[in-house]
Chain A
Amino acid sequence: MGSIELVCPAGSPAMLHAAIQAGADSVYCGLRDETNARNFPGLNFDSAELNEAVRWAGARDAKVLVAINTFARAGQTDLWKRSVDQAVAAGAYAIIAADLGVLAYARDAHPQARLHLSVQAAANSAPAIQFYAETYGVKRVVLPRVLSAPEIATLAAETSVEVEAFVFGGLCVMTEGRCALSSYVTGRSPNLSGVCSPPEAVTFERTAETLTPRLAGLAVDRLAPGDPTGYPTLCKGRFDGFGTKDYLFEEPVSLNAMGLLAALRTAGVRAVKVEGRQRGKAYVSRVAAAFRAAIDALDRGEDPAPLEQRLSDLAEGGRETAGAYRKAWR
C-alpha cells in the first residue's frame, strides 16, 4: 500500500476481483438487500459470496469493507443487525455504517469490529466526528462531498479519527444522508431504501427529436439526439424555474479529484474512495488502475497530473469536476 489507501467499489464478486487486480488496497461492498446504499437489481453479495470475497481478498493482502449504510426502518431493525452479524462472521476488515442504532448494535454485539462512519452520516465537523469516535468507537470517517480541501485539512488536524475522502465518481449535491428528493416522487430514497432513482420508476420516452427521461412519470430532462446524459435523478434534472430552463440543483457531472491527491494527502487524508458499486468491472478496472498509478507516482515524487485525463469518458454527462474541493460557493 502507498501513502494513501485506495478504496474501490465492488458491486459483485467479479468487480471485487477486478478492483483488487487493478491495484485497489481495499474494496467496499454490500449485502443483497436494502441495508446498503446501492440496492439495485442483480447487484451485491450474498452471505456465501461475502465469505469467499474476504478470503480471496485476504490472500492478496487486500481488505474488504462492508457497507451497511442505510438507515434502519422502525420494526425492521433485525435485517440491519443480521447484516452486521454476517459482515463480522465473514471476517470483514470494517463495517461502514451511518445509523446510530446500527453503530450501537455493532459496538455492543461485536466490540472487536472495526467501524467506519459512512458518508451517509454527513459528519462534517470535528465535534461531530469526535462524538462518533467516543460513543461508538468509530476509527475512520468518510467525509461528505461538500468540503473543500482546506476545510478537510482543518478538520483532519482537529480529530484523531482516520479521514477518507471521495476522489472519483458520482457526485451528491445534498448533504449525504439527508436527501428525500426521490422519495417524494417514488416512495423510495437513497438513505432508507438504497436507491436514488429506483430503476423500476425510470422510463425513457423517445421521439425522433428528443429523449425524455422520466422518474415516476415526471420529466427530469429533455435531450436532443446525441446529447450526453446523466443519471435520471431529480437533483440532476433540468427544469423551468426562476425564469430560466436549466439545472436547478446540479449539472450531471462526475467527480475527478486526481489532481488534488497531493493536497488531500497533505491535508491528512488517509484513504481515498472511488464511488460506483453499480457500475461494473470495466469501470472499476480502469479507475483503480489510474488511481493506483497516480498514488504510486505521487509516492515516487512525480506529478500524477498526466494521468488525470485517462478516465474522462467514464464521466456522467460526459463532464468532470473537482467538485467541492475547489468550490467557490457555499
Chain B
Amino acid sequence: MRVRRTRRGNAAPQVGHADGPLAEILFLLRGPVEVLLTRATRRLSRLHPDAFARLGPFQGSTFRIAPTDFPVAFDLSPHPVHGRVSVVRPGAAHCGVARMSAPLADLLALFDGSLDADAAFFSRSIQVEGDIGAAMALHNALESAELRLSDLLALPAGNRLLNGLLDELAKLARKPASPAGA
C-alpha cells in the first residue's frame, strides 16, 4: 500500500508558570473567581440544557482542564444545577473523571470546535488522562451546542477583558495547520 507521510503537528510548548508570582496572585484571588465562574457555568446550563444533556452519565463529573502555559488549572463540574468551577494549582492531586492538558489556545480551539480533536490527538498536542469517554462527552457536548470554552469559563457580562483575551487566544489557534502552500 502506498503511504504518504505528512507534516507532524507542532509539539506543545511546556511553558507553564505554575510557580511564578502571577500564579500566586491568581491563586489568592481564586475565591471570587470561582464564584463568578461557577455562576457563569450554571447560567449556561439554563441557556443550553441540550449541551448538558449530551454529557449523559458525566453530568456533574469533575474534569481537570490544565493549560500547559497558564499558571492555574480549572476543575470543571458541568452539572445542570450544581455546576461548579474551581481554580487549582496545575499539579494539584486530581480525583476527577478526566484531565485534559494542552496549550491554552489549543484547549480553547478544541472546545469551540475550531481545532479538530482527533488531529490534535494524533499529533499529540493534547493529552488526555482518565476516562477517555468522559473527555469525549465533554468535547462533543460543548461543540454540539456551539459553545466556546470561554463561554463556559467566562465571567458574566462586563468582563470584556477576559472574554476578549480568551477569544484572541482562540483565534490564534484557528490559524491554518495545513502545510505551507496548500
Contacts and interface: CB of A to CB of B under 8 A. Distances in A.
A184 B138 CA distance: 28
B7 A312 contact: yes
Contact of B56 (A41, A198, A202, A279): A41
B117 A279 contact: yes
A312 B114 CA distance: 17
Contact of A314 (B4, B109, B116, B128): B116
A251 B145 CA distance: 34
B9 interface: yes
Nearest to B141: A42
Interface in B134-162: 134, 136-141, 143-146
Interface residues on B, range: 35 or more
Contacts of A91: none
A14 B2 contact: no
B129 to A, nearest CB: 7
Interface stretch (A64-72, A160-168, A317-325): A317-325
B115 interface: yes
A9 interface: no
A319 B5 contact: yes
B178 A311 contact: yes
A318 B137 contact: no
B97 to A, nearest CB: 11
Contacts of B58: 41
Nearest to B124: A229
B1 A321 contact: yes
Contact of A42 (B54, B121, B177): B54
Secondary structure class of chain B's binding surface, majority of residues: mixed
Interface string A147-169: 00000000000000000000000
Chain A interface size, as a band, is 35 or more
Given A40-B140, A310-B178, A283 B56 contact: no
Nearest to A232: B132
B60 to A, nearest CB: 14
A14 B144 contact: yes
B117 A280 contact: yes
A92 interface: no
Contact of B113 (A49, A282, A317): A282
Given A199-B136, A320-B6, A283 B177 contact: no
Interface of A: 11-15, 18, 40-43, 49, 198-200, 202-204, 206, 211, 223, 226-231, 251-253, 276, 278-283, 286, 309-324, 326-329
28 contacts: A40-B133, A41-B133, A41-B134, A42-B137, A42-B140, A43-B144, A200-B131, A204-B128, A226-B8, A228-B9, A229-B121, A230-B122, A231-B118, A253-B3, A280-B116, A280-B118, A280-B140, A282-B114, A282-B115, A310-B182, A313-B7, A314-B116, A314-B118, A315-B122, A316-B122, A318-B5, A318-B123, A326-B2
